[in-house]
């Protein structure tokens, strides 16, 4: 707002200065010319200064940056793609940064053989983005020799361009130590050398020499305004080596050309140098993280939800890390006027992502937790740390992180970041809370401090069928109406409290969103049915195949309505499976799984936290009421929890009364007992026994005493009689 005002006032000032010159001339003419009669526009304000002086931008300490190509020559002059390995590598150890960087590695160093991945899925080949199947994407990284071929490395780079920063598997082969494309294919369907031709469904050789590889893109996180969209487009076009250059389009230094990109040489020295300020280089900001990780920003602008047009992360975890108030947002929130808390109070209190998720060797943030690790258990704090110069040369990009169910790659880093109690003193402010230590031990702070998640999140994805636009059916939670429609009312959803038990750490109840997925698998060992095969099975041209139409069109109106687009009968499943078999899919069957997402962000003001004990401690509490997982179960298949979430379900998914799928909590799951919420029958019997026993004991005792007193009376009477006799 302020900037807009300044911009407008600035324009007024410029125009005004021009007008002032005219006015001065008029005055010098001693009023002989007089006012300009009939002028169409009013004379503007001609104030010398309408706003405060512009801020002097802070001077960056970063020196000028050489823009070099892969040969080490100035890229603007050589007209070759920018090489950040060369440019940034002039001062920083880029190779180290690339290796110690789970954003880049994406699980490359943790790949496994098929059927040995932590997820338990037979087709997964790793825990990270590179190797772990994502039902939303619907494509799986084909292991060598597996058929049919679905996704090679080049496909993966293009599909995951919005989520991957480059480097790692986008640059280096998973089979050898060299770069992609530097060795001959190991087989006819080497996934490094082939890519899927989506028209034919067959693998074709990928020309790495033409595309190049996607190097680690430092600019994406360290540029003030990186052009991520242009970067993604360059990658999607297969111009991998231009990805870094494309990121600079928004700076005005480069622009798109017929072949690659061209530089604006006026802004760059003949040596290829440009100032860091001109580039907009600096620390990674929350806005940089936001490009991939949900709706995070430090700005105070109202949050507007863009739903499907937004990135996918927000639809999974519901994270909005923004300081602006929910009541100020552009979203159609229920009871919006009362939601006066910021989307995340930490963002409102000036924290950025990197304040918590910092580089572990950053000397400013090094926790110095010597006491928590062996063999320095005798130290409470280790004051030794990297020098600033050492850190700047080799900043460790394996950022610290917490315990969440959705973490996959570098699980060994879980719990390395500060947790709430490292910054807060909950015992000071939770005076009202009984059994504080017990609550803090077993309950994550977010369990109460994130009582609701307001952005609509993906609740279920049904990829057993495709919509007419060839996309799977997605059901959102927390919204009444289509998630894409700004008029839909966002009612929010209470995340399920699930016990999360990381390795070597006790369980804690944490809020989770549960994402259920249904998709086809085939063969043995099973693997996901390729999306291209599903499309071929379901569609003929742009319309549904007649056999599919006949199977789904239950009201025989010739159109598959939205409510008809579901496999809710055995016959429908059989017919679609038949179509899949017809296009060559072996043994098609429906697979369903449940992926929990721990809710860690979206912490509101304390006043908005749950303070009502009965929210948990009652028979209708959060842990006792069923959680709705999906409106229906395709093929009647109940989803099973993925094996690598380190989270337990306090019940089993089962069909609900309305045909939906619910998570029915058990009476006493995993040894958890919550007072007021659950009943242990043995304990009840024991209590009743104790009370009954006490009553019986007291009664028996009273009876005995009564009888004893009567006996004593009788004895006394007889004794007195005897004396008289004597």
Partner 1 sequence: VRFCCGGRGHGAAAGPVVHGVASRDTGPWRGGLWALCLVALGLAGCSASEKPRDNPFARLRPKLSSTSHARFFEGQTFSDGPSVTRACLRCHPSAAREVMKTSHWEWLGEPEMLPGRPQPVRIGKRNVLNNFCLSIESNWPKCTVCHAGYGWKDASFDFSKEELVDCLVCHDRSAQYAKAEAGLPAKGVNLLAAAKGVGKPGRDNCGACHFAGGGGDAVKHGDLDGSLARPVERLDVHMGKLDFDCTECHRTKEHRIAGKMISVSATQTLPIGCTDCHATEPHKNARLNAHISTVACQTCHVPEIARMRPTKIAWDWSTAGRDVPGANPHAYLKIKGSFVYRQRLIPEYRWFNGNVDRYLKGDPMRPDGITELNPPLGDIRDPTARIWPFKVHRGKQPYDKKHQILLIPKTVPPDGFWVTFDWDRSLRLGSQASSLPYSGEFGFAATEFVYNVTHMVARKSEALQCTDCHGETGRFDFAALGYPGDPAAVGGRFTRRMVRPAPAEIRRSTLGMAAAIGRTGGQP
Where do contacts with partner 1 occur on this chain (CB under 8 A)?
1-2, 5, 9, 12, 16, 19-20, 23, 35-50, 52-53, 55-56, 285, 298-300, 323, 325, 327, 340, 342, 347-350
CB 670 within 8 A of CB 678: no
Alpha-carbon distance of 175 to 232, in angstroms, equals 26
We find the least distance from the C-beta atom of residue 425 to partner 1, in angstroms, to be 9
DSSP code at position 238: T
Q: In the complex with partner 1, which residue's Cβ is closer, 7 or 683? A: 7
We find the least distance from the C-beta atom of residue 320 to partner 1, in angstroms, to be 14
The sign of the dihedral angle between the CA atoms of 125, 126, 129, 133 is positive
We find the least distance from the C-beta atom of residue 383 to partner 1, in angstroms, to be 18
**Gyration radius (Cα) of the chain, Å:** 34
We find the least distance from the C-beta atom of residue 337 to partner 1, in angstroms, to be 9
Q: 607: alpha, beta or left, given left = phi > 0 and alpha = psi -120 to 50?
A: alpha
Q: In the complex with partner 1, which residue's Cβ is closer, 202 or 424? A: 424
We find the least distance from the C-beta atom of residue 336 to partner 1, in angstroms, to be 12
Q: In the complex with partner 1, which residue's Cβ is closer, 273 or 420? A: 420
CB 276 within 8 A of CB 90: no
Give the DSSP H/E element, type plus range, for residue 532. Answer: helix 531-538
Burial class (CB in 10 A: 0-12, 13-18, 19+), 224: middle
Give Cβ neighbours of residue 352 (< 8 Å, ≥ 6 apart).
285, 286, 298
Q: In the complex with partner 1, which residue's Cβ is closer, 202 or 338? A: 338
Q: In the complex with partner 1, which residue's Cβ is closer, 49 or 620? A: 49
CB 308 within 8 A of CB 340: no
Q: In the complex with partner 1, which residue's Cβ is closer, 48 or 658? A: 48
Q: In the complex with partner 1, which residue's Cβ is closer, 92 or 298? A: 298
Burial class (CB in 10 A: 0-12, 13-18, 19+), 289: buried
Label the pairing between strands 496-500 and 508-522. Answer: antiparallel
We find the least distance from the C-beta atom of residue 50 to partner 1, in angstroms, to be 6
Q: In the complex with partner 1, which residue's Cβ is closer, 46 or 291? A: 46
We find the least distance from the C-beta atom of residue 618 to partner 1, in angstroms, to be 26
3-state secondary structure 600-618: CCCCCCHHHCCCCHHHCCC
We find the least distance from the C-beta atom of residue 349 to partner 1, in angstroms, to be 5
Q: In the complex with partner 1, which residue's Cβ is closer, 238 or 363? A: 363
Alpha-carbon distance of 317 to 246, in angstroms, equals 30
Give the DSSP H/E element, type plus range, for residue 286. Answer: helix 286-290
We find the least distance from the C-beta atom of residue 709 to partner 1, in angstroms, to be 19
């Amino acid at each position: 707002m302020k900037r807009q005002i300044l911009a407008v006032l600035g324009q007024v000032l410029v125009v005004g200065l021009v007008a002032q010159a005219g006015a001065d001339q008029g005055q010098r003419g001693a009023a002989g010319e007089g006012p300009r009669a009939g002028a169409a526009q009013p004379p503007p304000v001609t104030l010398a200064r309408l706003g405060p002086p512009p801020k002097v931008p802070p001077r960056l300490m970063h020196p000028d940056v050489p823009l070099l190509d892969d040969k080490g020559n100035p890229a603007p002059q050589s007209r070759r793609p920018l090489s950040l390995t060369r440019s940034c590598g002039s001062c920083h150890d880029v190779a180290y940064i690339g290796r110690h960087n789970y954003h880049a590695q994406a699980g490359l160093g943790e790949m496994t053989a098929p059927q040995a991945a932590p997820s338990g899925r037979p087709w997964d080949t790793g825990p990270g983005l590179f190797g772990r199947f994502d039902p939303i994407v619907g494509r799986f990284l084909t292991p060598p020799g597996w058929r049919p071929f679905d996704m090679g490395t080049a496909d993966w780079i293009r599909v995951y361009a919005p989520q991957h920063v480059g480097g790692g598997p986008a640059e280096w082969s998973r089979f050898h130590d060299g770069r992609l494309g530097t060795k001959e294919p190991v087989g006819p369907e080497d996934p490094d050398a082939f890519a899927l031709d989506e028209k034919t469904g067959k693998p074709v050789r990928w020309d790495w020499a033409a595309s190049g590889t996607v190097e680690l893109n430092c600019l994406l996180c360290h540029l003030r305004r990186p052009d991520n969209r242009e970067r993604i487009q360059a990658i999607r076009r297969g111009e991998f080596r231009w990805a870094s250059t494309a990121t600079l389009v928004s700076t005005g230094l480069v622009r798109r050309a017929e072949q690659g990109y061209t530089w604006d040489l006026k802004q760059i020295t003949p040596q290829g140098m440009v100032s860091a300020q001109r580039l907009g280089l600096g620390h990674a900001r929350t806005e940089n993280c936001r490009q991939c990780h949900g709706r995070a920003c430090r700005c105070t602008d109202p949050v507007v939800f863009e739903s499907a047009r937004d990135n996918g992360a927000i639809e999974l975890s519901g994270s909005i890390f923004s300081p602006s108030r929910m009541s100020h947002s552009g979203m159609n929130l229920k009871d919006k006027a009362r939601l006066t808390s910021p989307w995340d109070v930490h963002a409102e209190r000036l924290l950025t992502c990197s304040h918590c998720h910092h580089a572990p060797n950053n000397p400013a943030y090094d926790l110095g937790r010597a006491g928590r690790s062996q063999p320095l258990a005798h130290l409470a704090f280790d004051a030794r740390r990297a020098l600033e110069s050492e850190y700047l040369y080799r900043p460790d990009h394996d950022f610290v992180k917490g315990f969440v169910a959705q973490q996959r790659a570098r699980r060994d880093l879980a719990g390395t970041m500060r947790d709430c109690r490292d910054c807060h003193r909950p015992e000071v402010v939770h005076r009202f809370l009984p059994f504080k230590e017990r609550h803090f031990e077993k309950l994550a702070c977010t369990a109460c401090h994130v009582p609701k998640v307001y952005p609509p999140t993906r609740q279920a994805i049904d990829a057993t069928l495709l919509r007419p636009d060839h996309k799977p059916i997605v059901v959102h939670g927390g919204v009444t109406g289509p998630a894409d429609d700004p008029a839909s009312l966002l009612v929010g959803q209470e995340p399920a409290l699930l016990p999360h038990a990381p390795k070597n750490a006790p369980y804690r109840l944490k809020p989770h969103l549960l994402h259920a997925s249904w998709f086809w698998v085939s063969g043995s060992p099973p693997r996901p049915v390729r999306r291209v095969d599903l499309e071929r099975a379901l569609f003929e041209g742009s319309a549904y195949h007649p056999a599919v139409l006949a199977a789904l069109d239950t009201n025989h109106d010739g159109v598959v309505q939205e409510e008809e687009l579901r496999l809710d009968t055995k016959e429908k499943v059989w017919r679609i499976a038949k179509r899949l078999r017809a296009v060559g899919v072996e043994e098609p069957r429906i697979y369903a799984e449940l992926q929990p997402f721990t809710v860690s962000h979206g912490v509101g003001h304390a006043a908005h936290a749950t303070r009502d004990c009965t929210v948990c401690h009652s028979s209708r509490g959060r842990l006792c009421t069923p959680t709705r997982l999906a409106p229906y179960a395709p093929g009647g298949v109940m989803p099973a929890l993925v094996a690598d979430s380190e989270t337990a379900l306090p019940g089993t998914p089962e069909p609900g009364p309305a045909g939906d799928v619910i998570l029915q909590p058990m009476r006493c799951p995993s040894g958890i007992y919550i007072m007021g919420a659950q009943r242990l029958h043995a304990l009840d019997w024991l209590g009743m026994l104790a009370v009954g026993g006490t009553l019986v004991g007291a009664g028996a005792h009273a009876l005995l005493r009564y009888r004893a007193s009567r006996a004593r009376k009788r004895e006394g009477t007889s004794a007195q009689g005897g004396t008289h006799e004597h």
